[in-house]
C-alpha cells in the first residue's frame, strides 16, 4: 500500500502530519491528517478518529479544531480523514450541490451507479484506514474513540453503534441524528443506496438505537443558534430515541452557538477529556 508524507509540523511537543495513500476501498488517492503527541519511546497511545462534515476535507479540523494542546496533555493520537473520494473520474452531484457527491460521502458504502465504484467511505473508515494507521503510527487499537461533526457526527454515531465494543468512547458535535428524517439524509441515502428505505436504517443512529444497538455512553453538544438544527439535525429525535431505549447519553444544548468551528473548537477539549477518561489503559 502506498504511503506518502505530505507535510509535518511540530506542535505542543508532538507532530502534526498530513499523509496520502492510494485506497483500495475507494479506488482513489486519499489524504488524511494525524497528530501524534509527545510520548515515551515504544509507547502505544489511544486514538481518537474525527469525522468531518459536509464540504470538508481533513484540513478543516486540522487547521481550526484546536485539538492539539488537549491531545498533547492527554496523550491522544488524533486522526482526521477526508469526507469522500476525490480525483479524476469520481462522480459528483450533477447539479454541483454541496450536499451530495464530492465532500459529502456520508460514510456509506454506495450501492447505486455511478457512485458504487468509489463512494466506499464506510469500508475505508471501518477497515482500510485503521490498518494503515496501525502500521505507521504508535496506536493502541484496543483503545479507540470516535467523534465527528454534522455529517461526521452521523458517521461517528452509526459506525460505533454498528460495531459494539470497537470504540470505547463516542461523541459528536451537531450530528445529523436521523438521515431517514431530514432532507440531507434523504438525498444522500437515496442517491447512494437507492429507493429502498429499509437499506437506509443501518445509517441512521435513531433507527439503530430503536433496533437495539447500544453504546456504553454518549456525549453530544448541539448549538441552539445552529441554523440547521430544526430542518436537518433534529437533535430532539436522538434525545427521544435514547430515552425510549434507556441508552445512556449526555446531550447538551449550548445557547448562542452555531454550526461553525467556533462552536466545535470551544468544546473540543471537553470532548477529548471525556474520551481520554474512557480510553485509559
| Rama region for 186: left / alpha / beta (φ>0; ψ in -120 to 50; rest) | alpha
Residues of the chain falling short of pLDDT 70? 1, 281
| Residue 2, pLDDT score | 84
Cα gap 79→17, rounded to integer Å: 10
Catalytic residue among 149, 259, 271, 275, which? 259
Nearest to 180 by CA among 171, 192, 190, 170: 190
Which pLDDT value is given to residue 175? 98
- Please give the pLDDT value at position 189: 98
Which candidate in 33, 150, 160, 178 is catalytic? 150
- Write down the catalytic residue from 118, 226, 271, 275: 226
Question: Regarding beta strands 219-223 and 169-173, do their DSSP bridges make them parallel or antiparallel, or are they unpaired?
Answer: parallel
CA distance readout (Å), 200 to 55, 158, 181, 191 = 22, 11, 11, 11
**Residue 138: its pLDDT value, please?**
98
196 is an active site residue: no
58 is known as an active-site residue: no
- Domains of the chain by residue range: 3-279
Q: Is 259 one of the catalytic residues?
A: yes
Please give the CATH number for the structural domain made up of 3-279. 3.40.50.1820
Torsion from C-alpha of 62, 255, 258, 184, nearest 10 degrees: 110
38: left (phi over 0), alpha (psi -120 to 50) or beta: beta
Taking only the tens place, the pLDDT of each residue in 87-145 is: 999 999 999 999 999 999 999 999 999 999 999 999 999 999 999 999 999 999 999 99
Q: Which residue has the cell 478543516?
A: 60
Amino acid at each position: 500500500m502506498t504511503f506518502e508524507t505530505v507535510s509535518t509540523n511540530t506542535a505542543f511537543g508532538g507532530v502534526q502530519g498530513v499523509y496520502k495513500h492510494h485506497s483500495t476501498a475507494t479506488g482513489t488517492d486519499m489524504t488524511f491528517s494525524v497528530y501524534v503527541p509527545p510520548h515515551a519511546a515504544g509507547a502505544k497511545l489511544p486514538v481518537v478518529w474525527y469525522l468531518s462534515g459536509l464540504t470538508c476535507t481533513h484540513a478543516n479540523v486540522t487547521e481550526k479544531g484546536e485539538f492539539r494542546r488537549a491531545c498533547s496533555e492527554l496523550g491522544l493520537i488524533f486522526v482526521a480523514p477526508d469526507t469522500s473520494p476525490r480525483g479524476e473520474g469520481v462522480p459528483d452531484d450533477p447539479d454541483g450541490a454541496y450536499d451530495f457527491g464530492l465532500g459529502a460521502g456520508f460514510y456509506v458504502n454506495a450501492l447505486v451507479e455511478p457512485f458504487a465504484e468509489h463512494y466506499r467511505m464506510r469500508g475505508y473508515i471501518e477497515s482500510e484506514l485503521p490498518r494503515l494507521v496501525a502500521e505507521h503510527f504508535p496506536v493502541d487499537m484496543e483503545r479507540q474513540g470516535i467523534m465527528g461533526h454534522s455529517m461526521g457526527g452521523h458517521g461517528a454515531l452509526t459506525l460505533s453503534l454498528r460495531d459494539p465494543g470497537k470504540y470505547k468512547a463516542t461523541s459528536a458535535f451537531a450530528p445529523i441524528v436521523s438521515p431517514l428524517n431530514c432532507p440531507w439524509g434523504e438525498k444522500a441515502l437515496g442517491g447512494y443506496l437507492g429507493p429502498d428505505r429499509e437499506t437506509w436504517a443501518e445509517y441512521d443512529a435513531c433507527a439503530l438505537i430503536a433496533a437495539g444497538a447500544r453504546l456504553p455512553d454518549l456525549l453530544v453538544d448541539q448549538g441552539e443558534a445552529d441554523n440547521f438544527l430544526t430542518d436537518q439535525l433534529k437533535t430532539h429525535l436522538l434525545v427521544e430515541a435514547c430515552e425510549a431505549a434507556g441508552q445512556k447519553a449526555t446531550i447538551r444544548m449550548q445557547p448562542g452557538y452555531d454550526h461553525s468551528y467556533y462552536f466545535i473548537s470551544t468544546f473540543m477539549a471537553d470532548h477529548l477529556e471525556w474520551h481520554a477518561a474512557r480510553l485509559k489503559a
